[in-house]
A and B are shown apart, each in its own frame.
Chain A
């Protein structure tokens, strides 16, 4: 083994210390956030970047944030950030993902010089726009989805810039909660500065900077080593999104994955053009899905950073579904398209590596709102089975991993009664190992309300693998009427909405069958 800038002990100790800083930032953010979306659902992430804008460590609590931060840091770096500044950004077209995700970027300084950046990203439960919750199923332009924040100084000299804060708060439905959540993010950004300074005190600047480089190089070595195990070749896969909310027709996703030595190229040439609805993805979301798919193949302890992402190149034609341009609407791209992108890339990688059968491939976003309330839920489903065993039932798969709302909490809060919440036995695909079962959730509204569903995999089933059968597609019902995958409807008191989520694909041929 060749000599490196840091010995194996210092590398290990500093990797742990830097990881500890990102985790402590995450824990401060979660601890001091106000909204349950951050506090309980943990829809947030934190990270440290080096002075060149490379991610060193990340504490991500939800996979969809995996690859989405570097663009935000790059956008801020071009605006001459100074020590004590914190920039806010959510614009998908200059470094963001979708508008509810607000990212704060702050320089980490040593003396006068900037040696890195602290970054926090959190999903804010309302950023304005045409619907409460800022997750409309019917947006056609980004402007309908909420307030757009280009990279702006939210904090200067560690003091909030009140003009900017006031502008943001004037454009959201729940300003007190937004203020609380932003304050929590700022506290976590500030912690990046403090903890890095303490680490420099103990270990010296040179060692800490060497650790930035070496932690990145370490992740890159390990990632390249894993890619080298995969057979070189060109692997293609196709899949589809079932409509964009304006039109139920399938929208094509095509990826060509080229594995060559220790690099992976993922090219979305051939994917559909921009959608009229809101299922478009900025490239940062597409990258997150690609990084997720590769991370599934890596050992769990390889850190996610610029090094593990360096061997991966993601290409997509400008302005297409997965490399959106202003003013395309994008809010569902982060939720539903990102799921299918991960599925499609894994389908291609499955020709070179052992991957599980497909999971439900949707987050099943259910939004029911009345005059003064909004209830938002995402539903789990079946995970795909694998060589090792059956697929888990009733879980979130892919790019999401948030908790449900307890029925007893829901009914105490909203005029809704849950009539059924159980597994659909047998909805997972048959196989040597069965796919996980989907969920049936039936909700009766007790007051007039509106319904929004952002779902997928209602026509096309999650695929089985190695001879395993497909999972059963999901189904949305209003009473006895089948609803499309993405839909908005008015509800009368007594209406029953039933969502059947998809089952996961099976793995391997059933014993005894041909």
Chain B
């Protein structure tokens, strides 16, 4: 594994730029922009420092610069900077991307609107799929047709000319082109791209055969449309950011991709749809890294924030990747860290439904007004209010540097709902925690038992503002033995950014039965991708993969493809692990070949300093099953390597609070993670 260095040209296109190389790096900085806060983590000689500043929604780069200045880190030479942002996600969610057009094969203009013909809600007949990124009046088609074996109907130049002139009139910022079978036979699509680029030099053109050469026309079309839709916004943001930083003498940042690897700015500009989900990816990478430092590599990650919770499995130290993601209703076929999200978090509102059941969420008080205890006008009780009334959160806790929780407001809100249920505010608070935990358990089961993984063999890594508060009871419910709370649990996405590899993903279609009749053809396909990788990165680590299925199956599994002769065996094995059986007699098909090229970051060892000499004795009354108990309250900043914690106790981290329930205990390990075990 080689070191990644931050100095990257921001002007030359990736194709012709010198391959990215490495140099000495002393300081790694990750800046992750979230909805409310922008988090910064600096790793200097294995020691962590963190900074939190308010996000600047209109221009996220301002918040990034604020965080860099506030951190006090020397930003001179030897700095590697990585950035996670929500510019692309927000543009998709809020439909604030470019005015984009779509060009398809004649007879197929509505692929984006028909989708796969299924409706989003079985019983709500009024609910439609989210509107397509390209409206009907901006969908054009050219007369041509490719089939599985090549040209069925030649490209009609006249129809191309009329599409080009219609697009000159249409005043668009971007055009996506997706012709049938272009993943196998891109000639027509290239010709269309050439004509468009010549006639509309100011307009961004995305070709599906360049963006995602994979079969299944709807998903390919959806991905290339998202690519065109996002390109103008994302490139103006990133190029603006690079300039802003350059003026401040700070090197250009790497940008986090959904795959969990970073890319240079021009890489992100070239593939905007690959950068849609950078925040959750950073968190999982950060969790995998810190857990590895503690000696664990089978994990369920649990990131509970204010409005939502992300959970993901990490198996054998490897973050799991999917190509089946749907973001804001839009299928995106690029590799993404496989994260399952539920809309429940600290801000989720408790209520009683018409049938008399206590419910938590999906409505959330969000950051504004926030939970009742924020004192910003929220009057409905939330999970945070319940945690506060039970004494798990401190009445004088300061969240994100500005909000002070007010217990009397939490109690008011709880009491008002409790009276409707003929229970006390305290009983209701326990009920809210229990109902919220049940939702979290369900989410964790989806990513474990439902995929053939046994939670018992995994460690729960808790982070996010509310994760460490709820972790012990979830672990009990799932019969997990170990909970790990990283020191940077409030800013783990930013930490993940500092240790993410530089990554490029390549895919080529390859339809053939196994065993391969002509393995040389597959070898050539890999070699071609490896040559591309070699031009873009200097001596990258290469991983060959293949998408394989039993003949006739409508989905593929991605398996290692280092040995082409062992591909069938490998596939049987992966299929059995994932689905519980193999079909020895069935034919097997190789559908795509893939290459992942990475320049590995040297991941520094984390060092936890010794604890403060004198630990002040602090106590707080906390309620467990109706009984008030005096529990130790420990300041994580004063703990150090070897500090022991025995439940019931509360450990206050800088940006989160950990509740160590009775029956749990453990200590801070050498890398600074609090490792809790069932006693």
Residues of A at under 8 Å CB distance from B? Answer: 1, 3-4, 7-9, 11-13, 15-17, 20, 24, 27-28, 31-32, 34, 36, 39-40, 60, 62-63, 176, 180, 183, 187, 202, 218-219, 221-222, 225, 292, 295-296, 298-302, 355-356, 359, 379-380, 383-384, 386-390, 392-397, 401-409, 411-413, 417, 419-423, 425, 439, 442
Contacts and interface: CB of A to CB of B under 8 A. Distances in A.
Interface string B344-360: 00000000111111110
Contacts of B123: 63, 292, 295-296, 298, 300
Given A20-B445, A63-B123, A396 B117 contact: yes
B188 interface: no
Contact of A422 (B108, B446, B451): B108
Contact of B357 (A11, A388, A394, A420): A11
A3 B423 CA distance: 11
Nearest to B216: A406
A387 to B, nearest CB: 8
A12 B580 contact: no
Interface string B404-419: 0000000000000000
Nearest first, the 10 closest Cβ-Cβ pairs linking A and B are: A9-B431, A380-B117, A394-B114, A420-B107, A392-B128, A222-B355, A8-B358, A36-B554, A422-B110, A218-B355
Interface in B392-450: 420-423, 430-431, 434-435, 438-439, 441-442, 445-446, 449-450
A356 B354 contact: no
24 contacts: A8-B352, A8-B431, A16-B439, A20-B442, A27-B450, A39-B555, A62-B122, A63-B123, A180-B583, A299-B354, A386-B125, A386-B126, A393-B113, A394-B117, A395-B118, A395-B129, A406-B217, A407-B180, A408-B215, A408-B216, A411-B181, A417-B147, A423-B114, A439-B117
Bin the interface of chain B by size. Answer: 35 or more
A164 to B, nearest CB: 21
Contacts of B116: 403-404
A301 B554 contact: no
Interface class of chain A by DSSP: mixed
B152 interface: yes
Contacts of A408: 180-181, 183, 215-217
A384 B128 CA distance: 11
Contact of A296 (B125, B215, B431, B450): B125
Contacts, number: 197
Interface string B442-468: 100110011110000000000000000
Nearest to A8: B358
A20 B421 CA distance: 25
B216 A409 contact: yes
A182 B356 CA distance: 39
B100 to A, nearest CB: 19
Contact of B121 (A4, A219, A300, A419): A300
Contacts of B578: 31
Most chain B CB neighbours (cut-off 10 Å) among A4, A292, A295, A406: A406
Contacts of B119: 383, 392, 395-397, 401
Contact of B125 (A9, A221, A359): A359
Most chain A CB neighbours (cut-off 10 Å) among B117, B434, B450, B452: B117
Contact of B217 (A298, A407, A439): A407
Contacts of A384: 125
A9 B435 contact: yes
Given A32-B579, A40-B554, A225 B354 contact: yes
B444 to A, nearest CB: 11
Most chain A CB neighbours (cut-off 10 Å) among B118, B359, B452, B477: B118
Most chain A CB neighbours (cut-off 10 Å) among B122, B353, B446, B579: B122
B357 A383 contact: no
A100 to B, nearest CB: 18
Given A300-B121, A392-B129, A439-B114, A16 B442 contact: yes
A406 B113 contact: no
Contacts of B504: none
Interface in B87-138: 107-111, 113-119, 121-126, 128-129, 136
B85 to A, nearest CB: 33
B420 A12 contact: no
A371 B452 CA distance: 39
Contacts of B439: 16
Most chain A CB neighbours (cut-off 10 Å) among B119, B152, B445, B578: B119
B218 interface: yes
Interface string B554-570: 11000000000000000
Contacts of B125: 296, 355-356, 359, 383-384, 386, 397
Given A187-B580, A421-B114, A219 B356 contact: no
B511 interface: yes
B124 A300 contact: yes
B309 to A, nearest CB: 15
B213 to A, nearest CB: 12
Contacts of A20: 441-442, 445
A31 B152 contact: no
Contact of A389 (B128, B147, B357, B450): B128
Interface in B576-615: 578-581, 583, 585-586
